[in-house]
Chain A
């Protein structure tokens, strides 16, 4: 087994570090520096975004998200650029509470049964009556295995 001892990973001949390609069997030593190792690629967030869900839906910032689709009040579909390896990936999302009003979305949910390897669905709800409501902003992330 080969090992590379290094403190900083950078692009060859420069200061940027964005051109590194890591094989999916790579492992890293734990933060505590013990003998524990874990898979590096499985530890990466595979997609993330923050989007505006009111009026015309738009992505504010994202990685590996091709587009967002508005399915009606408080209901959205996210479309991935690079597909996941199966439909059981993990999604976490949070709705914007807009100053703590009971009429603003704070609950968010994902709809696992309708997820595919290339798209996922999620919703935002009002805490006051559990009704669908548009999220002013909604950050989320996806982890799991890429295809």
Chain B
């Protein structure tokens, strides 16, 4: 087995585009596009705060009201609409979450938490992940 040691991976044709061969060996997929660009694990129960140190590529978060949290990223996305995935709950009742179209920018987004019937509520645990192209 050969070992490649380096600190930075850069595409030769395009700096931000490296292909890796898929698990099945028959296709290639873009390495950069397959990576999670930001994630956060947080609570809004008493104060709005990150759980432990579980945040990546976020510079701040702010309490915007019941169940509403706005996040600011350190490195910007290339477009103001990007893919988000999230989930959370308190294990005792149904739990909903949603985003607001007008709260997206290349550096910010907002997650909203609610009850099973979409009434705004705070929660002890929620996690979000950002996927898409970095600037």
User: A34 and B125: CB pair below 8 A?
Assistant: no
The interface residues of chain B lying within 8 Å CB-to-CB of A21 are: 3
User: B20 and A110: CB pair below 8 A?
Assistant: no
Query: Contacts A30-B16, A109-B95 given: A17-B11 contact, CB under 8 Å?
Result: no
User: B33 and A23: CB pair below 8 A?
Assistant: no
Classify chain A's interface size: 35 or more
The interface residues of chain B lying within 8 Å CB-to-CB of A17 are: 20-22, 25, 28
Per-residue contact bits, chain A 108-147, to B (CB 8 Å; 1 contact, 0 not): 1111111000000111011100100000000011011100
List 4 extra interface pairs beyond A27-B9, A90-B128, A121-B91, CB under 8 A. A19-B1, A29-B9, A43-B56, A113-B91
Residues of B in contact with A (beta carbons under 8 Å apart) = 1-23, 25, 28, 31-33, 35-37, 39-41, 51-54, 56-57, 75-76, 78, 85-91, 93-96, 115-117, 124-125, 127-129, 133-135
